[in-house]
Structure 1
Amino acid sequence: MNLKFTTLVLFIVIAISFQIHGQELLSVKKTHFVDTVQTRKAEYSKIKEALKLYDKGLGYVGESLNLLLEAYAVNKSNAELNYNVGICYLVAGPKNKALPFLLAAESVNLDISNEIHFYIGLAYKYQNNFSKAIIHFKMNNELIAQNNYKEQKELIPIGEKHIQESRYGKMFMEDSTSFAIELLENDVNSSFDEFNPQVFRSDLYFSSRRVFEKEDARSLDDQKYFEKLFKAEKDENTWRNISREKNNLGANVNATLLCNFNENQFVFYNSKEGAGDLVLAEKVNGKWKTGKSLKFINKKDSRESSASISEAGNEIYFVSNRNDGFGKCDIYYCLLEDNGRWSKPINIGGDINTEYDEGDVYITRNGKTLYFSSKGHNSMGGYDIFKCEREEMGGWTSPVNLGMPINSAENDITYSEDAEGVFYFASDRSGGNGGYDIYQQKVSIPVIEETVIEEPIAELVEDTLEVEIPDLEQAKLVVPIAVPIIAVENELVELAEKPMKQELVEEDFVYRVQIAASRKEMDPAELFRRYKGGDVIEHLFVENWHKYTIGGFLTFKEAANYRDDCGVKDAFVVLFKGGYRLGIARRPVGGN
């Protein structure tokens, strides 16, 4: 990866955004956009401005998108403009809005870009339409291989990873848990990134890259605002009174509150130290003051982040991108030894760490359950949240994906729990306020029945006051009373990794031989003069061309042999997905 973000976890989770952002937006010809409609001239300047903003960095893509949408409002049929809007939605979100624009661009111009099917696959994936996502990722890989698109070859393994994730997505949709989650309200979330929720002493701390003051600076790496630490106070069952926490690190430093080391000291991620280190901090006179670096953890030229320590205080887990791991970022731990010193960092092992990145880590207060984010294992998209249980001998069980709705087709990160076991996490899924948003377990308020005894009813009988005592068993009145929940048992439904079946025949490819193409529809006599064979001729109307194909072959070699024998000198092989024409197939794949 070639980007530094605010914390390690966000450094790694935005890789997909940069992978898309590496794709340049397409130029839009003024003549094509205006198209004799003079009122469109003013809007064309917004397209030019949007392209410049897009090139400045991730922090400007949202502004670029807004300008493109203004231009789109006056011309919805321009292929390049539709494509650009779709790409910006994939980068800046909401990602699930990208699909109709990309489909519109491709319907107007099949050759809009060599990667169009890759991006359509992403757009379908972000709408949880995993079957169609798989089809388009396969289309993308097939066309790259068939047409030898050298610059796009790096997308083939990425496409295969998305295909695998989409298969898991299909499985998790069938096995979704009954857990309910909810978006935190009352200004906790904004249109910027919010992440890393941590509850300490009944207050919610979280990081945000929102603009807070006019003087707030942007990071040179991604042009997003530097992250700041905020606090929310609990008011009944909601978080309110959002305030910014002050520190002594300076305006252009990212500091993330991670866990409490002991009663008075907390662990922060500090981008000012080394490549990004873990440091101790404490709150003095209402201001966070940094202290010593955790030297037994931090390593020169590597980034350490996302620390978590159990209540017993005898082990600490953290994430590092040091070069002795299984992937780019691995989970490590240190143990408190009998002499009061911490052990050297130990890699947690290949059962949990994978060849892909592991993100943030969290161990429960009782030390029995470990949660972490990972792009490996059976992730359904980007980073999923997994858990492991402590075994009797001290090891950990195999990671279990928490499934839907906690995980999504996008990135789900920074899991934590409060003292009652209610969980929190951040996600950049569609449906939030924008960027990464913080979600929590939705806790229902139980209703209990309270027995209320009716007051005795007095009756006047002649001149004597007699009190009739009603039957108490008949006098019960049930009144629902809401009481705050005191403790929550966090029993997540485990979704174990399952072997996946291959896709159905509907996802296979077919090669056909194209024998003719004409601007005007050809009559049967013309076609017969060109092709005298007996195969059924299929007529397609694509991009204002009438195209005629024959045959249906599973391999390029079979189609090429038929092309050479069909009697049409300028015939060529075309790749289809069912009835969908993908493009010309110029060479075989794997010798077929």
Structure 2
Amino acid sequence: MNWKFTILSVLLLTFFTSVHAQGLLHVKKSDYLEGVKERKATYKKILHAIELGQKGKGFVSQAIPLFKEAHQLNSENAELNYNLGVCYLISGPRNEALTYLKSAQKLNADISEDIHFLLGMAYQYRNDFNKAIVQFKINIELVQQNNYKDKKDLIALSEKRIGECKNGKQFLNNTSGLEVELMEDVNSAYDEFNPVLNGNDFYFSSRRGNEKNSRSLEDQKFYEKIFVQDTSENIYSVSVNTPSKSNLALMSFIDTVPIIYLGGEGNGDVYFAKTSSGKWGKGKALKFINESKSRESSVCTGKDGNEIYFISDRKGGFGSCDIYYCTKEENGKWSKPINIGGDINTEFDESDVFISNDGKSLYFSSKGHNSMGGYDIFKCERKESGEWGRPQNLGFPINSTDNDITYFEDETGRFYFASERSGGVGGFDIYREKEILEKIEEPVILAGQASIQEVPNEINNEKMGAPLMAKPVVVSDIPVKRQPEVIEEIKMKEELVQEDFVYRVQIAACKREMGPKDLFQRYKGGDVIEHLYIEGWHKYTIGGFPTFEEAAKYRDSCGVQDAFVVIFKGGYRLGIAKKTGGVK
């Protein structure tokens, strides 16, 4: 969205201005060419790259390949290495900057007045916080001792960065048990963010395009559009009747009605979307939110629909962009926007507000509080009084030293977000919570030796727990039972004797219940999936085979690489089944 990248422009504005007050460094022609004619064309590319860098941050990415071509011919030029490092810090991937900046300082210790500040940033993006702090402190000392008047702003920036590095050290040493994974199927070389899951469809924003599409004058990227991935993993653009030279994003759904953001260069408002025959159009404006002289965005409402939260850069806030909210009054009308307050809003920017389905948790991105760098994602818990508690940084691995934005949770509580961190496909990428699959620590029963003796002691001693509940999972194109099957508690050993063994194929087991889309991505077959909840694990099985051989054959052909056979008797799951002799 344009609002998003306008905010990110502000994030880099002070840094970009300080670096480019003198422009990218001039590369001496004599130092580079040394009289070799074949290098003249490359030197012209260096001059062109410097011109691009001077035009603005939206052109910096175009300068990098030109500088790198020159670097391949001569890597011993300090100014060229400095320019490459600066360009990577501005346009990314930012972890690439350190190598070039270290080379620049090694070749010329006095290459620039801000070299230590830049080195500090480069170490910070590598999570090398101790070295980053040293460089920021050196920068402060040099600016103060040498009275660099045009670099005074680097003192405050260095102090903030030192605080971020200290936060980063703390979070890195206290990582949670969560894991995140890159959604490679939706990400591209362009920016992707704003994940929204509605039913079985996964919506997101992307700045992908082709040469026929218009580009933003502000950052030279394609305008943002809405895309959707269906259950068959097909990705297509959502057709919306809006101007081509505008940024368009899906914010959230109120019931089944989409709320969209529509804006141009430096402005934007939010609207309900009209939907008809698969096409969307701009509907009614949310007039109680929008202001003519400000930019409103990132709208989200709780499940009960009595509160609505949004981001605005209107006057009177604590920072450039603040969180506001409205409440529904008794007459059904919305209240005037209220600033959420100084405990949550800061002098820095807040963005990307999201409220959980139960209305008890509020998530947002911020450059303030105890951020470890750029935007971090924070969480507030609602108190019994209805007020929000103090923001808590979600820490690693959700947050990074780069920008982490647009947090979203689906109905099962699985989270999604976008990050500009290194290691992705390109620019901003969408990540999600990685499912923790079951570690196999249960009885392994040899199929040819299955008998009542293999029944767990708990059954023999009649000490079973609560009944196991089985329910079908509703996924497109997969037949399911209309009514959930209830597996009754088995109280007597004799009942087991009367039942034959049944073999099923288990395709997944995880701590959090899998949503239809995730389950369909794992298994695309046409058989009924049974969902069992056993001792804290959600287990998904298919089929009901009389022999191990038949189950194993289906296991090998079902398309799930790590599927395995489990054995049931009398409706009770006994454990993992293997062929006699231990052959899988």
Q: Any idea what the Cα deviations from partners look like across 1:38-69, whole Å, max 9, x if unmatched?
A: 44333222212222232333333222101111
The match for 1:371 is 363
The match for 1:209 is 207
1:481 aligns with 2:479: no
1:169 aligns with 2:162: no
Unpaired segments of 5 or more residues in structure 2? 456-500, 516-584
Structure 2 Cα separation of the partners of residues 402 and 438 of structure 1: 17
Equivalent positions of 1:114-513 (< 5 A) are: 114-186=113-185, 188-210=186-208, 212-235=209-232, 240-263=233-256, 265-272=257-264, 275-446=267-438, 454=447, 471-474=451-454, 481-483=506-508, 487-488=512-513
Structure 1 Cα separation of the partners of residues 215 and 377 of structure 2: 29
Aligned partner of 1:201: which letter? G
CA drift of 1:450 comes to: 9.2
Q: Any idea what the Cα deviations from partners look like across 1:497-527, whole Å, max 9, x if unmatched?
A: xxxxxxxxxxxxxxxxxxxxxxxxxxxxxxx
Structure 2 Cα separation of the partners of residues 59 and 355 of structure 1: 26
Structure 1 contact 451–478 (Cα < 8 Å) conserved: no
CA drift of 1:295 comes to: 0.8
TM-score by length of 1: 0.74
Structure 2 Cα separation of the partners of residues 199 and 10 of structure 1: 23
CA drift of 1:364 comes to: 0.5
Structure 1 Cα separation of the partners of residues 197 and 9 of structure 2: 25
DSSP-derived class of the 1:338 partner: coil
Q: Any idea what the Cα deviations from partners look like across 1:198-217, whole Å, max 9, x if unmatched?
A: 1112211111112x232111
Identity %: 49
The match for 2:31 is 32
1:51 aligns with 2:53: no
**CA 1:19–1:194: 2 relative to 1, 3 Å:** farther
Structure 1 contact 20–87 (Cα < 8 Å) conserved: no
Structure 1 contact 57–223 (Cα < 8 Å) conserved: no
Structure 2 Cα separation of the partners of residues 487 and 231 of structure 1: 24
Unpaired segments of 5 or more residues in structure 1? 1-5, 457-469, 491-592
Structure 1 contact 369–389 (Cα < 8 Å) conserved: yes
Structure 2 Cα separation of the partners of residues 451 and 175 of structure 1: 36
CA drift of 1:37 comes to: 4.2
1:17 aligns with 2:12: yes
Aligned partner of 1:232: which letter? Q
In the alignment of these two chains, the number of paired residues is 465
CA drift of 1:454 comes to: 4.4
CA drift of 1:452 comes to: 7.3
Structure 2 Cα separation of the partners of residues 127 and 174 of structure 1: 15
DSSP-derived class of the 2:418 partner: strand
Aligned partner of 2:375: which letter? Y
Structure 1 contact 453–472 (Cα < 8 Å) conserved: no
Structure 2 Cα separation of the partners of residues 377 and 207 of structure 1: 27
CA drift of 1:479 comes to: 8.3
**CA 1:450–1:154: 2 relative to 1, 3 Å:** same
CA drift of 1:421 comes to: 1.1
Whose RCO is larger (CA < 8 A, sep 6+)? Answer: 1
TM-score by length of 2: 0.75
DSSP-derived class of the 2:422 partner: coil
Structure 2 Cα separation of the partners of residues 91 and 190 of structure 1: 20
Structure 1 Cα separation of the partners of residues 95 and 348 of structure 2: 25
Structure 2 Cα separation of the partners of residues 489 and 379 of structure 1: 31
**CA 1:7–1:63: 2 relative to 1, 3 Å:** closer
Structure 1 Cα separation of the partners of residues 446 and 195 of structure 2: 46
DSSP-derived class of the 1:373 partner: strand
Structure 2 Cα separation of the partners of residues 244 and 379 of structure 1: 34
DSSP-derived class of the 2:168 partner: helix
**CA 1:489–1:137: 2 relative to 1, 3 Å:** farther
**CA 1:478–1:377: 2 relative to 1, 3 Å:** farther
Structure possessing the higher radius of gyration over alpha carbons: 1
Structure 2 Cα separation of the partners of residues 61 and 485 of structure 1: 44
Note the aligned Cα RMSD (angstroms).
Answer: 2.4
